Structure 1
């Protein structure tokens, strides 16, 4: 993993949250239709494109649930 080192001044501390990749999760959600097993995806970004894809998959018969911690479960029929 790469890092940035800053010399001098005050040291940096803290936590940065990195959201999941929208383009990757859209493909993963569609791929969940190819199995009858429950698929779980974590760190899913809350974006309109993701919500729209979830509506499309529901229209195709999949059961989808997104929890408050941004975990999505997909169960195809």
Structure 2
């Protein structure tokens, strides 16, 4: 009886870990395909994946060197000028 509970619990935890891994990989691929790492996250999954991976975008280089600015900063600069 105890053996069955241990096996069931380990299988459940294994499936939870595998599904979390699949969700993180899916979110990484979606962000890469959209080329949206400099934008704010579009979903809770994207936000959670960025938090798990420790990904943060620093825009100070865009301010220091505007000629090499990222697309987000270029778009914000256009909106301010208009």
Relative to the length of structure 2, the TM-score reads 0.27
Kindly indicate which of the two structures has a greater share of residues assigned to strand: 1
Relative to the length of structure 1, the TM-score reads 0.28
Greater RCO (CA < 8 Å, at least 6 residues apart)? 1
Kindly indicate which of the two structures has a greater share of residues assigned to helix: 2
